[in-house]
Structure 1
Amino acid sequence: MKHKNIMVVGTSSGAGKSITVTGLCRVFFKDGYTVSPFKSQNMALNSYITKEGHEMGRAQALQAIACDKDAHYKMNPILLKPTGDRRIQVILNGKSIGNMGGFEYGKFKSNLKKEIMDAYDELKNESEICVIEGAGSPVELNIKQDDIVNMGLAQMIDAPVILVADIDRGGVFASIYGTISLMEPEERERVKGVIINKFRGNVDILRPGLEKIEELTGVPILGVMPYFELDIEDEDGVTEKFNKIKTNNNNINISVIKLKHLSNFTDIDALSINEDVNINYITSFYELGNEDLIIIPGSKNTIDDLKDLKEKGMAQELIKLSRKGTPIIGICGGFQMLGGKVLDPYGIEGDIKELPGLGLLDIETTMEKEKVTTQYSGILKGKGEFLKGLGDIEVKGYEIHQGVTSGQEESLTLDDRLVATSKDNIFGTYLHGIFDNLEFTDFILNKLREKKGLERKVSNISFDEYRIGEIDKLEKIFRENVDIEAIYKILEEN
């Protein structure tokens, strides 16, 4: 098959672009094609580290799984990570090239078209179909001139376009009509179909509106996706996972500190697939105190988030609860906060050169110029109160951190650096994806169940298997509600 491509743009952020690309990737793969996802530029809270040690958007890594491929930075050559103070860390071809302000990056990004085309051309040479994802809205008039991720990219790679609109927000017909109307004539010609996302109710009620919008825009409606529950990773803060869930004494209640610069909250997903686990994202100290476990997740700016926890009174409450015996797990930036202090001699994260930590582990962290980005596999030793009875198990994950941590706490891995450690009821690790390790997670949850007098459980499915099941569920919903034959025709005609 000659290489084909198709691009998915949305009427807004959170319209459903990522999930549409994931679904199409799975459909094409299951139909026997070699498929690759592509997003030229991604701004995201969640990132992923490839086998080669390159950093990329988590959404594209998930889409690679849908294609049964290893994730590679060329699927997302530009990743932007907000770091606070109106600055972003720019990841180019998997490696950080430093922090920039928005205006500075706006001028710089015009230099990146060659990098984008080089990455795309590599995928083009190894794939029969590329499914491309846009970002935000394709008609942001103030930044449209140097667009490298929406209709500007569609022109660069000569791609037909599908527009996705979220009906759950309301005003779906206005958003479809307005988006297409604001496009230039040559851009409108690229739009070959519309998918309406998150519809609740009987589609027949919607049909008069569908017919009218087709008449007004000249663009066919390819399908109406129903509102459905799907448990796969979210790309950014547009997620329902942050909605509060009330505690239940018959369940395990876990409080996750929703940091100001929260990063890689997908680490928690493997816990949430357990039916007797409630996850609550906490923003105020008065919400703490009724949980069985507290998790301090990753951060894109450890020092600023640690400062924020102190100013809100959260730090003091965490220290108080730890002394009462509440288990606390810190991951990456959260791990760094558990120590005695965090140092930033080079001003990597801002103007604060040193800040005391929570003092729950006898460690300290220094922010270095070089960023650690690596996949990890090794032996975790079940030592100390926190992991007593676990034994030695193999764990895997990935690391993304600017800081180097050292101190008096014993390493729980066989490495010459501190990847994981514990003291009393405190556990800290640099491993993103730590809860994807079934044996580790079962041990932690059963320890919490025993403490509450609940029955022990053994998981019969790994998180990797669960995720594939959810992707296949998405494929089935797509086939049932979207005109896949029409999409193949769009591919053939381009």
Structure 2
Amino acid sequence: MANYIMMMGTSSHVGKSILTTALCRILYRQGRRVVPFKAQNMALNSYVTRDGDEMGRAQVAQAEAAGLEPVADMNPVLLKPTGNSCSQVIIMGKPVGNMSAREYHKGYSLKAFGAVKDALARLDREYDTIVIEGAGSPAEINLKANDIVNMRVAKHLQAPVLLIADIDRGGALASLVGTLELLDEEERALVKGLVINKFRGDVTLLTPAIDFLEEKTGKPVLGVIPHIEQMGIDDEDSVSLQEKMAVPEDGDVKIAVIQTPKISNFTDFDALSHEQDVSLYYVKDSDGLGQPDVIMLPGSKNTTEDMLYLRKSGLADLILAHEAAGKPVIGICGGYQMLGELICDPEHTESENDEVEGLGLLGMKTVFAKEKLTSQVRGMCRDLPFMGQYISADDLRGYEIHMGHTEFTRAGDEHPFMITERRNAACESVEGTANGINVFGTYIHGVFDNDKFRRSVLNAVRISKGLEPLANTRNTAAEKQQAYEHLADVVEEALDMDKLFEIMGESCGNRQMADGQEAAQNVHQAGENV
């Protein structure tokens, strides 16, 4: 039976995911068999496992920090918003349908909790420590009755909880005290400690506040985590993009990523943003575009609606003018589909739109189907014509998440992207198109995580601007491991680890006691039934 620790927050975006990642790495390097877990994610930033299951990106980072291959048991329920208070519901990596918020929260969520308990039971048998992440706040009164990710999980496991507040946004003390006040007695008892996150400045100046918190709540403050700049770890959701919207003044290569309302898998561009010669920013409207060297269109959970948004916002006209000036435009997955001539949704898989005209920059037509393709892939890029250069990379790795089948309609276009392996089976599948000059797109998520390919694309842009190409000196995979190590170092130094281990050690005994009480209650009820 595993030990547990659960990370909850006073609100969204206080650092639960990052601190869960940190604990996974801290415990992993101490030799523990540690695994991350989050019962339910609501995010458009997803990943595909080796088995072809879809799960949230946050648990992928946490799994990497724990030295594990990501599996759906780490995130058994994933909600991907499609618009109009509706989400695609994914259970154990497989979509089960689209539901309105009311349908899900009032009828289905408690059924989904069965999958949550099953996943936890499997992890409990295999690992000695489970680090659990909550979602949002556990004190949302309108959601608590049907919530399956916060206190329902904690009570099911009798897991000790650390409550986290973000001091950088202000009001941290009030949010901690207020959250505890809104919990019921059993829930408050499960909160074993408080954590203040994202602190800037001299921590000794916070001593009076810590003393007040401990006296007011009766809960120990386990640590004050400093604000960490440029962690190099994937963000969980698009809330973080608000900090990346300023048009940069420097950078040899300026890249504008179009932030459509249903943007998904924006982590496709993280590796680009970490390049020394790149300034990458996100754009929501025509006023924010500026004068980029490259425009990139990301994936989308609702491609036709996002394409209509590009036209309504005026961004479509600016993208077309950018391309007409000979500047590059690149699309990934849904963004790749938008580069084509037509996007059709006859089954209304994503929206009520039968078909929508694309940007017409690539000769292709996409038709949506009800079945989603999710798989890890290996592939190659051969002689991609781009900005006067020819780019080749023989060992591309990434993954696919799409419901559209693309047909090519223009003889002059190139098809340099080939998937050679899907779900460990050999194949030959064309999954990308180029106009031969300055536009290309592909279905391969994570294509820019491939170091040689990424640098080759950037160098083609540099050469077109009259700049010297740069050598490929980065190892993205190694950098990510270094980022996990740095995060773990900072958090381990800031937290009272002795107190944390004491709290975790109590969790196993609490669970055994709860199991015994539950078994006794079941026996008693059985006797009454007889």
TM-score bracket for the superposition, by shorter chain length: over 0.9
8 Å contact from structure 1 (residues 300, 333) kept in 2: yes
Structure 1 residue 45: Cα displacement: 2.3
1:74-133 CA-to-partner distances (Å, cap 9, x unmatched) read: 100000011111110101100111110000001111112221111111111111100000
Q: Distance in 2 between matches of 1:59 and 1:250?
A: 29
Q: Distance in 1 between matches of 2:287 and 2:242?
A: 20
Q: Distance in 1 between matches of 2:466 and 2:279?
A: 17
Structure 1 residue 414: Cα displacement: 3.8
Does residue 419 of structure 2 align to residue 412 of structure 1? no
- 1:454 matched residue in structure 2: 467
Unpaired segments of 5 or more residues in structure 2?
A: 420-427, 508-530
Letter of the aligned partner of 1:371 in structure 2? Answer: K
| Within-5 A mapping of 1:47-446 | 47-106=46-105, 107-229=107-229, 230-240=231-241, 242-248=243-249, 251-288=252-289, 290-386=291-387, 388-408=389-409, 409-415=413-419, 416-423=428-435, 424-446=437-459
- 1:11 matched residue in structure 2: 10
Letter of the aligned partner of 1:146 in structure 2? Answer: N
8 Å contact from structure 2 (residues 381, 391) kept in 1: no
Does the residue aligned with 1:383 lie in a helix, a strand or coil?
Answer: strand
Does the residue aligned with 1:384 lie in a helix, a strand or coil?
Answer: strand
Higher mean alpha-carbon deviation, 60-69 vs 393-402, is at 393-402
Number of aligned positions between the proteins = 493
Structure 1 residue 240: Cα displacement: 5.0
Q: Distance in 1 between matches of 2:141 and 2:183?
A: 10
Q: Distance in 2 between matches of 1:164 and 1:442?
A: 39
Does residue 493 of structure 2 align to residue 480 of structure 1? yes
Residues 125 and 232 of structure 1: CA distance in aligned 2, closer, same or farther (over 3 Å): same
Q: Distance in 2 between matches of 1:301 and 1:105?
A: 19
Q: Distance in 1 between matches of 2:181 and 2:227?
A: 27
Q: Percent identity?
A: 43
Higher mean alpha-carbon deviation, 379-388 vs 286-295, is at 379-388
Structure 1 runs (4+) deviating above 4 angstroms are none
Residues 242 and 344 of structure 1: CA distance in aligned 2, closer, same or farther (over 3 Å): farther
Larger Rg: 2
Structure 1 residue 460: Cα displacement: 2.1
8 Å contact from structure 1 (residues 6, 160) kept in 2: yes
1:389-429 CA-to-partner distances (Å, cap 9, x unmatched) read: 32352201011111111114443234554311211211100
Q: Distance in 2 between matches of 1:286 and 1:117?
A: 48
1:213-262 CA-to-partner distances (Å, cap 9, x unmatched) read: 10111100000001121121111122156433433465210011011111
Structure 1 residue 289: Cα displacement: 5.4
- 1:465 matched residue in structure 2: 478
Give the alignment's Cα RMSD to 1 decimal. 1.4
8 Å contact from structure 1 (residues 242, 281) kept in 2: no
Structure 1 residue 387: Cα displacement: 7.8
Does the residue aligned with 1:366 lie in a helix, a strand or coil?
Answer: strand
Unpaired segments of 5 or more residues in structure 1?
A: none
Does the residue aligned with 2:214 lie in a helix, a strand or coil?
Answer: helix
Residues 75 and 387 of structure 1: CA distance in aligned 2, closer, same or farther (over 3 Å): farther
8 Å contact from structure 1 (residues 344, 354) kept in 2: yes
8 Å contact from structure 1 (residues 406, 417) kept in 2: no
Letter of the aligned partner of 2:415 in structure 1? Answer: S
Structure 1 residue 452: Cα displacement: 2.2
Structure 1 residue 480: Cα displacement: 1.3
Residues 87 and 168 of structure 1: CA distance in aligned 2, closer, same or farther (over 3 Å): same
Structure 1 residue 315: Cα displacement: 1.0
Structure 1 residue 463: Cα displacement: 1.4
1:435-481 CA-to-partner distances (Å, cap 9, x unmatched) read: 00011001011111222232321232221111111111100001111
Higher mean alpha-carbon deviation, 271-280 vs 29-38, is at 271-280
Q: Distance in 2 between matches of 1:245 and 1:289?
A: 10
Q: Distance in 1 between matches of 2:253 and 2:178?
A: 46
8 Å contact from structure 1 (residues 245, 278) kept in 2: no
Does the residue aligned with 1:368 lie in a helix, a strand or coil?
Answer: strand
Q: Distance in 2 between matches of 1:355 and 1:472?
A: 46
Letter of the aligned partner of 1:356 in structure 2? Answer: E
Residues 483 and 453 of structure 1: CA distance in aligned 2, closer, same or farther (over 3 Å): same
8 Å contact from structure 1 (residues 247, 290) kept in 2: no
